[in-house]
Structure 1
Amino acid sequence: MARESFDKEVQLLRLLALAGGAYNRQQFAARLGISVHTYDKTMRYLKEMQSSLKQPLSPEQETELSDGLRYNYYESADPLLLFLFRAKSLKESESVRLSTILTVLQDQSLTAKELLDCCSETMSADYPSPDEKTIRGDLKYLEEVGVIVRTSDSRPFRYTAAIGLINELSDDELIDLYDYVDVMANTQVPSVQGYLLRDTLKKALRKRGFDPSAAETHLYKYHYHSRILDEAHLHTIHRAIRERRRIDFVYHAPRKGKNYAAKNTNPLFEREEQSQTQPLLPLRVIYDHQYGRWYLIGHTQRNAIAKFRMEGITQIEEGEVVSEEEFNRHLNTVERQMERSWVVDTLRTIKVVARFFNPERPGSNFIRERVEAQGQWGSITEESDESFLYTIMVNGIYEIKPWLRSFGSSCEVLEPAWLRKEFIAEWKEIQAHYEPVRKNI
């Protein structure tokens, strides 16, 4: 699948997850900057991919692709947001060929020539028959990623699927491992590889006669769809950071209300407004746990620090490599300016002081525990049995403000005075919304 096409599907799935059935075809196409015909074609492609890579929905559920996001409400291990990763950057014939190789290597060890015969016999006539060089290239790739292993040291090499660990586990151990991966994949970032591992363990449980859904200890309602979708860029960006390589990409700021822009090759249909490419030296990737967002921090050609939300990045292309000295110089600048950033803010450093009130009921002090866990480098000072003070020097207040507000009546902002006045005005506005409409209600 072409890289631009993958960006398009990612952005379409993002809109489906956020808007559900609120948009019609024309509105989806306008938001993506594509034609309605391209939108319909993309939807057909996604449905075909879903049917080939996922368990099919029931007849009652088999309506629109967007409905799958509702019917898979708690099943976050098999979300529609994930199946793209299984088909990303693979041609259809390549995907079928790799699936065939892995299937036959599950139960036996074979050489490259034997696998070539298996692929020629089992693959549909719609796909071109692979040659031995192609099969050896596939085996080298699968061995590098740890999916298969060699079973012999002498030529011709024999290969088998790397499922020894799973086969050696008892039923109880396999269920415990499945539960552990389930929890970690849903609570840690990045998470896509954890979900894929969970799928593998689920298939292993089914093969032993277990129903994984009956043994699940946790159910998750997934809130942050961007978290999974934006992981599509992590591998490319992290590799560019390791290699000190510049990248170019097209960026769509969230405030502009445009998620994607088609790259038209036909001059008759070329749009008047072409998206501008952003050149950047990537330095850091930061994840915001509060909103489930990824941020890319880098250095621009105008000698300035730039911050981009990952959800607006499309069409990434790798560029030239910079010297280690230049990379470290820009990295040190970023780390110095973001030393006191709550997330990515680089505004003027401000002292924030807040009073937190302990719960009235005896027992676990969840207010104190949350401040200690999430308060980063802020300091805590005991004030009384009822409250404690929290002090922090932070770049700006716009990122820490939602965190303070989330404590409700358990938090009182003391400094700065203007921030305290803002909170007072906001709480008065909220109170006004709960005023009775009629005096006699």
Structure 2
Amino acid sequence: MAKESFDKEIQFLRMLSLAGGAYSRQQFADRLGISVHTYDKTLRNLKEMVTVLQQDLPAEQGTELSEWLRYNYYESADPLLLFLFRAKSLKETESIRLTLLLTALQTQERTAKDLQDLCSEQMPADSPLPDEKTIRGDLKYLEEVGVILRVNERRPYRYKAANDLIDQLTDDQLLDLYDYVDVIANTQIPSVQGYLLRDTLKKVLRKRGFNPEATETHRYKYNYHSRILDEAHLYTIFGAIQQRRQIRFLYLSPKKGMNYTSQNTNPLFERESAGTSDCILPLRVVYDHQYGRWYLIGHHARMGIKKFRMEGLTQIEEGDAVEEDKYAEKLKQLEAQMKNSWVTDTNRAVKVAVRFYNPSRSGANFIRERVEAQGQWGVITEESDSTFLYEIEVNEIYEIKPWLRSFGSSCEILEPRWLRKQFIAEWKELRSYYESI
């Protein structure tokens, strides 16, 4: 799939999952900045993706696109939108060729020449036949990602599927591993690789006669399906950070309501881009658990430290490398500015003092436990049997404010005074909503 196409599919699926049937075809296309014809074509491509990815499954295990977009969580344990990663960056011929290679290596060891002959025999008639260089490139890629192993050190090299770990596990051990991966994939960040591993284990269990869905005893509510899509950018960005490279991209601010803009490849239909082209040195990636958002923070040559919501990044490309000393200098500058950041804020530090009220009933003190777990570097001081103080110096209050507000009547703002007045005004406004009519 072309890089631009993948950007489009990401934003298309994000809107499809979050908005559901709220938009008409024309409204959906306008929001994405594409034509209705492109909308129909993209939807058709997504349906074909689902069909191709499940072509080896029996009919009862297949899934229509509409099933991937169900809102009843307990009828579908698989996370929404994950299937796009299985098709990411693979052309149709690559997908067919890699499938043939992996299938052949499951049963016996083979050389590159053997695999080339096999592909030539089994490739569809309308697909180009691969040469030996292409097959060797595929084998190198599969070896690098750990899917296959080279079994000898002398030419001609022979390869086999890397199934030793799975094959050596007993049924009970495999079920335990599946349960563990299921829990970790649903609770850790990032999670896409865990879900892909879980899918592989599902296939192995089915081959052994088990039904993974029937043995599942837990369900995990996935509140932010769309953040899985943003993980597509993580590996490109982390690679650029490791190599100390700049990245270029087109940024579409989520505040502007435009989710996607196509590249101007046809001069007859060229138009002004709705986004902003940027080039930065990526320094850090931050995940905000409260809102399910990824942030990219980097250094801009003209504007210094800049922050971007990951969902607005499109058309990402690697740029020039920078010297290690320069990178270390910019990273040190960022760490100094983010020393007191609740999430990503780099503005001036403010001291916040809060009085928390313990629950009146006996049992677990969930207020205290939550403050201890989520309060970061804040200091807790005992005040009385019913209250305790919490103090923290944090960059601005905009990121910590929703957290404080979520405690409701169990939280009283003491400092700063202007924040206390804001909370008083907010609670008065809420109270007015419940006054008798």
TM-score bucket of the superposed structures, by smaller chain: over 0.9
How far apart, in 2, do the equivalents of 1:154 and 1:325 lie?
A: 42
- 8 Å contact kept, 1:227–1:294: yes
Q: Which residue of 1 aligns with 2:185?
A: 185
Residue of structure 2 in register with 1:254 after alignment: 254
Q: Is the 8 A contact 2:261 2:273 kept in 1?
A: no
Gaps of 5+ in 1: none
Structure 1 residue 103, shift from structure 2 partner: 1.5
Secondary structure in 2 matching 1:233: helix
Q: What code does the residue aligned with 2:238 have?
A: H
1:103 has 2:106 as partner: no
Deviation of 1:87 after TM superposition, in Å, equals: 1.3
TM-score (norm 2): 0.95
Using the TM superposition, give the Cα deviation of residue 12 of structure 1 relative to its aligned residue in structure 2, in angstroms.
0.4
Alpha carbons 1:76, 1:221 under 8 Å: kept: no
C-alpha change, 1:60 and 1:5, in structure 2 (3 Å) is closer
Task: Give the structure 1 partner of residue 219 of structure 2.
Answer: 219
Structure 2: gaps (5+ residues): none
| 1:68-217 superposed matches below 5 A | 68-70=68-70, 73-74=73-74, 78-217=78-217
Q: Which residue of 2 aligns with 1:264?
A: 264
1:6-17 residue pairs with structure 2 within 5 A?
Answer: 6-17=6-17
Amino acid at match of 1:42: T
Partner of 1:423: 423
Tell me the residue number matched to 2:361.
Answer: 361
Which amino acid in structure 2 is aligned with residue 44 of structure 1? Answer: R
CA distance in 2, matches of 1:75, 1:5: 30
Change (3 A) 1:53 1:75: farther
What's the CA shift for 1:303?
4.3
- Counterparts of 1:385-424 in structure 2, within 5 Å, are 385-424=385-424
Match of 1:293 in 2: 293
CA drift of 1:71 comes to 5.7
Relative distance call for 1:220 and 1:126 in structure 2 (3 A) is: farther
Match for 2:179: what amino acid?
Answer: D
Superposed CA offset, 1:101-129 (max 9, x none) = 11121222211122122212222112111
Per-residue deviation, 1:132: 1.5
Instruction: Give secondary structure in 2 for the equivalent of 1:81.
Output: coil
Q: Would the aligned equivalents of 1:74 and 1:222 in 2 still touch at CA under 8 Å?
A: no
Q: TM-score, normalised by structure 1?
A: 0.94
- Partner-residue secondary structure (3-state), 1:332: helix
DSSP-derived class of the 2:363 partner: coil
Give identity over the alignment, percent. 70
Shift of 1:428: 2.0
Runs of 4+ aligned residues of structure 1 deviating over 3 Å after TM superposition are 54-62, 74-80, 272-276
**49-58 or 108-117: bigger deviation:** 49-58
1:369-407 per-residue CA deviation (whole Å, 9 max, x = no partner) reads: 111111110000011111111100000000000011111
- Offset from partner CA, 1:297-337 (integer Å, 9 cap, x none): 01112141100000000001111111111111111111101
User: 1:75, 1:220 within 8 Å by CA — same for their partners in 2?
Assistant: no
8 Å contact from structure 1 (residues 3, 315) kept in 2: yes
Give the SS at the match of 2:226: helix
- Once residues 113 and 72 of structure 2 are traced to their aligned partners in structure 1, the CA distance between those partners, rounded to angstroms, is 42
Q: Can you list the C-alpha shifts for 1:157-199, whole angstroms capped at 9, x where unaligned?
A: 2211111111111111111111111111111111110000011
Matched residues in 2 for 1:320 and 1:224: separation?
A: 34
